[in-house]
Structure 1
Amino acid sequence: MNKSAVLPAVDQVMAELGERARRAARLLAQAPAERKNAALMAGAAALRRSGGKIAEANAADVAAGTAKGLTAALLDRLTLDDKRIEAMAKGLEEIAGLPDPVGQEMARWQRPNGLDIARVRVPIGVIGIIYESRPNVTADAGALCLKSGNAAILRGGSESFRSSKAILACLQEGLAEAGLPEDCIQMVPTSDRAAVGAMLKMSGVIDVIVPRGGRSLIERVIAESRIPLFQHLEGICHTYVDGAADLVMARKVLLNAKMRRTGVCGATETLLVDAKVAKTHLPVLVKDLLDAGCAVRGDAATQAVDSRVSPASEEDWSTEYLDAIISAKVVDGVEGAIDHIERFGSHHTESIITDDPSAAAAFFAGVDSAIVLHNASTQFADGGEFGMGAEIGISTGKLHARGPVGVEQLTSFKYVVRGSGQVRP
């Protein structure tokens, strides 16, 4: 079938999906918190009951991905085991336990003329989520949109199509059990890439797009979208070991930041070490990484401490490896670290290891990223770890939402003005 024959069919499918989402969004925006929570709890129970079906669908996705030659990092993101399925179920329960943001008064004040003005949280409407590889995003995104009163249109990657479909069935089972329309959470029913293009043109239907994926996906979405975005750019995250760092702490934090899970966006991709402690700290840190199975690509100073270090190219400093690879460089103090992060980072997550509060304060003030940490692993860049239950993504933009995008970030607001007959002179 030629391309011209495919596009009209995809456009029609997406238009019908959008129409159902708009209808569902109007109903969901007025749904009481108890009903939304009931849907989430029922969805969690369905995930546990359907663990075998989800695992079977996921095994087919993983087998297809392996045959396709996906990297180990992508296969790790794709894979669901009993622990990860249980984590999805618990995530739904945690989201159900969060305060309902819809209707919350953000501020309230009275004017001299007697007008009572309140700023109140409301759902955004219809959220479109475009993501790659990670099927657990289906559960997280669907649940967060439900809790915040938004209808969701999910477009997962073709690699995780079967897994995401099985997870969606559980979410929709929960919606039906709670008496809410199944159209509150929908998934694009095709892996045809034309559906992404159609989705990005659905202004007036979809209110905001949340893209999660690699550079090529994000660049396409930014270039083609006619809809506002919550940008989730790649995680080129840095750990900076300051001259006043405790070496024992630095070793523990760095290994976790890089090696706990190399395929997540919060994994450290670049190690920066203050020149003041390069002779004492750098050899130990590099050896720890190498001994843990992590390849190290370094500048001349880093190469000098261990023959197993390979030279870092200019491209390495701006690469999200999502693998057991790290780039390493010696810098001139906090300012040197800030300059490097500003030049090569993606404004995602950065950490400083130091016992000097003034160095930490300078780092916090100078680094323009969504998340900055002091003496903690970059792998804490996660909505669940922030107490948000889960996240749709880490927004690296600066407008509306920044950092983990949870239920509050998926709301807008309106002004409710109460009067007693006032007219404007």
Structure 2
Amino acid sequence: MTTDAMEIDALVREIALDAREASLTLANVPTTQKNQAILRLADLIEENTDSLRKENAKDLAAAEDNGITQAMLKRLELSDRMISDMLAGARQVAALPDPLGELMETYNHPQGFKIEKVRVPIGVIGIIYESRPNVTIDCAILCLKSGNASILRGGKEAYYTNIALAKLVTQALEAYGLPPKASQFIPTKDRSALNTLLKLDQQIQCIIPRGGEGLIRFVSENSHIPVIKHFDGICTLYADKSLDIAQAKDIIVNSKCQKPGVCNAAENLLIHKEVANEALPQIAQALRTEGVGLRVDESARSILDNQGIDSTPATDEDWGTEYLDLILSVKVVDSIEEAIAFINQYGSSHSDCILTTDTDTAESFLSGVDSATVYWNVSTRFTDGFEFGLGAEIGISTDKLHARGPMGLRELCTYKFKIVGDGQIRT
């Protein structure tokens, strides 16, 4: 190990030790004190917008020099919308009930003592993410409110912006007497810092990666710490035979086009054969108007060719591809059963939607699709912690253990059992 690598290794270990110590204090901080720090952070962001934009400009200039895509540049930019969302998220999280200490279950033992199951923090949470600087604030406030210390490892693309935001988090913590090490940003772009972080299972209780599939797979394969994750977002819309075509068209276009480079954007469209001839050309024309390329099966291609609408033959690989672009795969299916089987085979258990006016069919879909979020006549773009009333999200999980879907305050908690008695012994 080189001298530089040794210094980074020591730095990350020190951060983790400090975070563990801070987490023990933070677990018992009054709700009011945490809320005051979160609200102060929102004020600091508002007061320092100009200086934050200057730091963000450094990141944007470096990204352009490195040939980053326009879609990634947009995610990196500290826009008015991003700042507004950070402020709204912080203030909403401060207004939410504190999950800590919540009584989940209680049991009175036959021998006279009481068993209570209550929410407590997980401890130290490491968040590893890529270009979006708002993640720094979202994760810091959610961890703070839920009593967890956070270690933030942002991507090199947003390095200067993240450093500036992390300093504001520290100021907010100090302003209300909270441990300044309760939220720390790893101040290096060196990849070796991540390798060290993922091995510190004695100090860190949970890792949450946010970013592309490559990053998430690397974290999952190299972490000694439990990882909560989703690899990709292969979201599917199923247009049932009982759909409202006009409504369905709007939902499909929104799910695909409103922001195509994100994990809750649609990648597949299934359409029932009984309405395909009528509905598919209208839907396809609306998508083509938005610049969407269509990759279609033989049945769909035949229908679209007859209407003079351009498309490309789909391959089996297309059904399981997350395009993150203005591309949509289209397949005609014979039944709701075939649609459900398709989604459970090719989907990523993220977000899937049925478009129908038939209640029984919708309920079959909502029950049969094995995904974290399932929709009935609603755009998949709503899979988001803020939209779900969580204030913000620390990530989206497609796992089935502990947390699933957008993760807010309760998903950042575990529980303990409190047993209170009066001298009982087991015989």
TM-score range, shorter chain: over 0.9
Q: Between Structure 1 and Structure 2, how many residues are aligned?
A: 423
Query: What's 1:237 paired with?
Result: 235
Q: SS of the residue aligned with 1:186?
A: strand
Query: What's 1:18 paired with?
Result: 16
Q: 1:411 aligns with which of 405, 413, 418?
A: 413
Distance 2:134 2:317 in 1: 31
Q: 2:335 aligns with which of 325, 333, 340?
A: 333
* Cα distance, 1:375 vs structure 2: 0.6
Q: SS of the residue aligned with 2:43?
A: helix
Distance 2:183 2:174 in 1: 11
Distance 2:57 2:269 in 1: 35
Query: What's 1:156 paired with?
Result: 154
Map 1:282-301 → 2, pairs under 5 A: 282-301=280-299
Distance 1:80 1:129 in 2: 20
Q: 2:48 aligns with which of 45, 50, 54?
A: 50
* Cα distance, 1:208 vs structure 2: 0.4
Q: Deviations over 1:185-206 (max 9, x none)?
A: 1111111111111111111111
Query: What's 1:318 paired with?
Result: 320
Determine if contact 1:77/1:263 at 8 Å carries over to the other structure: no
Q: SS of the residue aligned with 2:277?
A: coil
Residue identity over aligned pairs, in percent, reads 44
Q: What amino acid maps onto 1:24 in structure 2?
A: A
Q: What amino acid maps onto 1:49 in structure 2?
A: E
| Structure 2 spans left out of the alignment, 5+ residues | none
Query: What's 2:193 paired with?
Result: 195
Map 1:131-280 → 2, pairs under 5 A: 131-280=129-278
Q: 2:102 aligns with which of 85, 104, 127?
A: 104
Determine if contact 1:76/1:263 at 8 Å carries over to the other structure: no
Name the CA shift for 1:272/1:226 in 2 (closer, same or farther; >3 Å).
Answer: same
Determine if contact 1:302/1:309 at 8 Å carries over to the other structure: no
Query: What's 2:374 paired with?
Result: 372
Q: What amino acid maps onto 1:389 in structure 2?
A: G
| Structure 1 spans left out of the alignment, 5+ residues | none
Determine if contact 1:73/1:262 at 8 Å carries over to the other structure: no
Which sits farther off after the overlay, 336-345 or 184-193?
Answer: 336-345
Distance 1:59 1:273 in 2: 45
Which sits farther off after the overlay, 159-168 or 379-388?
Answer: 159-168
Q: Deviations over 1:342-397 (max 9, x none)?
A: 22111111011101111111111211110001010001101111111111111000
Name the CA shift for 1:313/1:64 in 2 (closer, same or farther; >3 Å).
Answer: farther
Q: What amino acid maps onto 1:239 in structure 2?
A: L
* Cα distance, 1:41 vs structure 2: 0.1
Distance 2:338 2:74 in 1: 34
TM-score after normalising by structure 2: 0.96
Determine if contact 2:217/2:231 at 8 Å carries over to the other structure: no
Q: What amino acid maps onto 1:316 in structure 2?
A: D
Distance 2:161 2:320 in 1: 32
* Cα distance, 1:232 vs structure 2: 2.4
Determine if contact 1:96/1:147 at 8 Å carries over to the other structure: yes
Alignment RMSD: 1.3
Determine if contact 1:77/1:134 at 8 Å carries over to the other structure: yes
Determine if contact 1:156/1:164 at 8 Å carries over to the other structure: yes
Q: SS of the residue aligned with 2:278?
A: coil
Distance 1:47 1:322 in 2: 30
Q: SS of the residue aligned with 1:288?
A: helix
Query: What's 2:422 paired with?
Result: 420
Q: What amino acid maps onto 1:243 in structure 2?
A: K
Q: What amino acid maps onto 2:222 in structure 1?
A: E
Q: What amino acid maps onto 1:104 in structure 2?
A: E
TM-score after normalising by structure 1: 0.97
Distance 2:130 2:413 in 1: 24
Determine if contact 2:285/2:309 at 8 Å carries over to the other structure: no
